[in-house]
Amino acid sequence: MNNNLSLQIIQKIKNVLGDLSQPIPLHEPYFLGNEKKYLENCINSRYVSYIGEYVKKFEENLCEHTHAKAALAVVSGTAALHLALKLIGIEPQDEVLLPSLTFVATANAVSYCGAIPHLVEVDEDTLGVDPEKLDHYLSTIIDQHSSQCINKVTGRKIKALIVVHVFGHPVDLDPLLALCQKYGIELIEDSAQALGSEYKNRPVGNVGRIACLSFNGNKIITTGGGGTLLFQDIELANKAKHLSTTARVAGNQFFNHDQIGFNYRMPNINAAIGCAQLERLDIKLKQKRKLANSYIQEFTNIDEVKIFQEPNYAKSNYWLNTLILNNPSLENVKNLLNELNNNNILARPAWSLMHHLPMYKNSPRMDLAVSQKLFNSIINLPSTAELMERI
C-alpha cells in the first residue's frame, strides 16, 4: 500500500473523528444512565448473585427488544453458545457447521461439547454464511440414503448450523433456515454482536429455536461480562434455566441435582448494569448509524477501499465499522494497521480464521476462498457510539 493512500485514509478518519491527539479505542463502554443508581440498589439489597430483581427485569426487557418469548441471562456469550448446543442435543463426535470467519468462542463452544467444528464459507456481500454455496457443498458430502444428516466422508452426524451476524450485520436467515429444514439440522443464531440489528424488519434472534447474545465490555451494551439465550420455545427455556443453575431440583431444601448442570447464571449485579444500558440502546443505535454514515460518506470517493454497508434486507447496528481493501493483501492490512495505530486510531484486523488456528487447522471444511479474501481485506475502525459526541 502506497504512503499516499495511507495518508488519505488517515485524513478521512480524522474528518469523521476529529481530534486524534489521544488514542481512539476500537470500542469502549460508556455509563451515562442509571448504572450507578441500579448498582447501589443492588448492593443495598445484598442480592448480588443470580437471585435478584435485576436479572428478571433484564431478561424481560431483552424479550421486549428482541421479540423473544423467553430470555435467560448467563455469565458470557460463550456460555450461552455452549448451553445452546447442549440443549439441542449436541454430543461428542457430532459435527456442527459454522463459519471460519468468526470469533473463536463460536468454535470453542462446539469443542466444549466434544463435538467437531465443520467450517463453512461466507458471502462477501453479507459476511455471513453463504446459503447457496453451503447447499451445494452439503449435497456433495451428505449420505442421501440415511434418515439423518450423515457426513459420508467422516461418517459423523451433522447436527447443527451456527450462523454468525458478523460485526452486527445480519446474515440472510430465510434461505439458511430452509437449508436446515432440508437437511434436518438445527439452526442457532450467534447474535453476540447484533443486538438491535434487524432482518427483514424484525429483530435478529427469532429464526431458530435459540439465539445467543454477548454483553462483553466491547459490545453495543455491556454488563461487564455476560450473555443471554433467546428462545421461541418456552419449554426449552425452562430446561435451560434448570441446567444453568447446576440442575438443582426446585422446591426442596436439600441440594438435590438430577443431572450434570452448569453454574452459568448471570449475577444480579451485572444485570443491574445491563438494565441501565438497555434503557439507552435506542440512543446508541442512532449514534452508531450516524457514525457509520459519516464513515461511508467520507470514503465514497476512494477507489481502493470501501466501508462495508448493511445488506439490503437488513438494518445493522453497525457494531464495528469495517474498512475493506478492494485489492486484498495481508501485507497491506498489516502496514495500514501500523499506520493507523501510530496515529492514535486503534483499529484492528478481522479475527484469525478458525482454520488458521492450531486446534482447528484439521477441522473438516469446504473451500474458504472468500473467507481468506476477507481476512486479507478487513480493518475494523473505531466504532464507539459515543464518538458521535465528537462530531
- For residue 243, the domain's CATH number is 3.40.640.10
| Same-domain check for residues 261 and 301 | no
| Same-domain check for residues 266 and 144 | yes
| Same-domain check for residues 42 and 178 | yes
| Same-domain check for residues 199 and 322 | no
Q: pLDDT tens for the chain, 391 residues: list them.
A: 677 899 999 999 999 999 889 999 999 999 999 999 999 999 999 989 888 899 999 999 999 999 999 999 999 999 999 999 999 999 999 999 999 999 999 999 999 999 999 999 999 999 999 999 999 999 999 997 888 999 999 999 999 999 999 999 999 999 999 999 999 999 999 999 999 999 999 999 999 899 999 999 999 999 999 999 999 999 999 999 999 999 999 887 889 999 999 999 999 999 999 999 999 999 999 999 999 999 999 999 899 999 999 999 999 999 999 999 999 999 999 999 999 999 999 999 999 999 999 999 999 999 999 999 999 999 999 999 999 776 5
Q: Among the three residues 245, 278, 311, which one is the final residue of a domain in this structure?
A: 278
Rounded Cα distance between 87 and 89, Å, is 5
Rounded Cα distance between 178 and 349, Å, is 32
| Same-domain check for residues 142 and 198 | yes
| Same-domain check for residues 105 and 55 | yes
The pair phi, psi for residue 95, each rounded to 5°, is: -105, 140
Q: Among the three residues 229, 257, 278, which one is the final residue of a domain in this structure?
A: 278
Structural domain boundaries enclosing 329: 3-30+281-390
| Same-domain check for residues 339 and 300 | yes
- Which 3-state string (H, E, C) describes the chain? CCHHHHHHHHHHHHHHHCCCCCCECCCCCCCCCCHHHHHHHHHHHCCCCCCCHHHHHHHHHHHHHHCCCEEEEECCHHHHHHHHHHHCCCCCCCEEEEECCCCHHHHHHHHHCCCEEEEECECCCCCCECHHHHHHHHHHHECCCCCCCEECCCCCEEEEEEEECHHHCCCCHHHHHHHHHHHCCEEEEECCCCCCCEECCEECCCCCCEEEEECCCCCCCCCCCCEEEEECCHHHHHHHHHHHECCECCCCCCCCECCCCCECECCHHHHHHHHHHHCCHHHHHHHHHHHHHHHHHHCCCCCCEEECCCCCCEECCCCCEEEEECCCCHHHHHHHHHHHHHCCECCEECCCCHHHCCCCCCCCECCCHHHHHHHCCEEEECCCHHHHHHC
| Same-domain check for residues 79 and 219 | yes
| Same-domain check for residues 343 and 255 | no
| Same-domain check for residues 295 and 177 | no
Q: What is the CATH number of the domain that holds 382?
A: 3.90.1150.10
| Same-domain check for residues 255 and 349 | no
How many independent structural domains does the chain possess?
2
Q: Among the three residues 252, 278, 304, which one is the final residue of a domain in this structure?
A: 278
pTM of the model: 0.96
| Same-domain check for residues 293 and 266 | no
Adjacent-strand bridge partners of 186: 160
